[in-house]
Amino acid sequence: MGWQEEYQKKLVSVDEAASVIKSGDRITLAAGPSAPVDLVNAISARYKELTDVSITSGIIMYPFGFLKAECKGHILCRSIFVGPVERYCMPLGNIEVIPHQFSSVEYLLTQYIKPNVWIVEVSEPDERGYMSYGPIGNFVGDSTRKTASTTIVQVNKRTPYIHGLLGHVHVSEVDYICEKDHELPQIPYIEIEDVHKKIASYIVDMIPDGATLQLGLGTIANAVGYLLDSKKDLGIHTEMVTNSMMDLVNKGVINCSKKTFRPGKITCCFAIGSTELYDFMDHNIMIENMPITMVNDIRIIAQNDNFVSVNNALMVDLTGQVCSETIGFSTISSTGGQVDFVRGARLAKNGKSFIALQSTENTKDGIVSKICTAIPPGTAVTTPRTDVHYIVTEYGVADLYCKSIPDRVKSLIKIAHPDFRDQLTDEAKKAGLI
């Protein structure tokens, strides 16, 4: 039987594919723009028929019905990375967060979650019958498929076919196929503020020509991407491909010619951005998509000479502890790959890692300093102070690596907002830090 005949044999309607789910199923759902909207909506509509179903995913970009409070006890959402949709829906009480570093997510899913169903949106088959997992389905796609007893795919003609390692599934390897086309979820462009440009400018000044970059999620990291026009021969080894990277490729700034690991290739795991970005990645031989456990392996990251990692933070204490997930007990984001890239950069020849944040934040109680003497109770430390290299605000750069506590405190106070420096100095003295 050829793959075309097998495809037709496995082809069912969206509702028929949704009917495969039964009570007690442990589903892993592809994240972000690789989640099949129509299929998941159909599953969500069946919630009253189901009990004790879990869906493990992350960076959800659509307000699926299973996130609602009435789905408690029927379909539970487990998130390995909280995005805006999860954050908005979290007060409804049907989302559990699993703190975990991206480099070991595959272990989490295959050894602890142990899903029996894998659901992902895919491209149309190529001439050999292989379908691409699209922008983010390769995150843990192949390992999850091999763990699960059932694989359900939704074919969407708008899903880009992305080259890479373990990023494709053959028609013979899936159990059910349904078809429904729709536009992929996008991240709207957010205007970069002057303060973010200022922070980014400090980082850009420290990035040499020929460097290989990782840019994390967030406004400041994105601002760095848009300020690199003057650089030459940059490379990319990153979790996420962004619109700014696409623009730099088109301008010839990124060509990956100086990379020491996979030269000539943009090494990545996923992409979240605009339709133009997804089109840019479609059949682009410069893109080399890999599972997250490979991209975020510090031993692989370290093979990139002149590696530069840029990530964002919510707050930093005076000893250098970086908090990027919660403020108190309120979840804002997740662990992700920040620590992986901070450690990988440290191991790389001439590597650098930057943690960037604005010095202050407007809250309901007024303006507060994001460089603080002590972090609030319940706040999660994402990157330990022993791993941190550079901390950057709009007031400068603090080099913390291998520095004493007093030196760290003084350096961080210098890049805090001027209105808070005296207060931070007094608090540090009272705490015995300086």
Mind listing the pLDDT tens digit for each residue in 44-98? Answer: 999 999 999 999 999 999 999 999 999 999 999 999 999 999 999 999 999 999 9
* Residue matched to tokens 């020509």: 209
Strand partners, 288: 267
- Rounded to an integer, the average pLDDT of 211-215 is 96
- Alpha-carbon span 117 to 21, nearest angstrom: 8
- Rounded to an integer, the average pLDDT of 255-274 is 96
- Alpha-carbon span 369 to 292, nearest angstrom: 34
Output the pLDDT for position 377: 96
Strand partners, 270: 240
pLDDT of 218 higher than 80: no
Residue among 106, 121, 239, 325 flagged as catalytic: 239
Output the pLDDT for position 7: 97
Output the pLDDT for position 141: 79
More confident residue, 217 or 136: 136
Is 239 known to be catalytic?
Answer: yes
Q: What is the pLDDT of residues 162-195, one digit of tens each?
A: 999 999 999 999 999 999 999 999 988 778 899 9
- Alpha-carbon span 342 to 129, nearest angstrom: 39
Output the pLDDT for position 364: 86
- Enumerate residues 6+ apart whose C-beta is below 8 A from 86: 58, 60, 67, 77, 79, 95
Output the pLDDT for position 254: 98
pTM of model > 0.85: yes
Confidence label for 199 from pLDDT (cuts 50, 70 and 90): very high
Confidence label for 219 from pLDDT (cuts 50, 70 and 90): confident
Confidence label for 365 from pLDDT (cuts 50, 70 and 90): confident
- Alpha-carbon span 345 to 389, nearest angstrom: 9
Which domains are assigned to the chain?
3-179 (3.40.1080.10), 194-430 (3.40.1080.20)
pLDDT of 1 higher than 80: no
- Alpha-carbon span 209 to 346, nearest angstrom: 19
- Rounded to an integer, the average pLDDT of 283-294 is 96
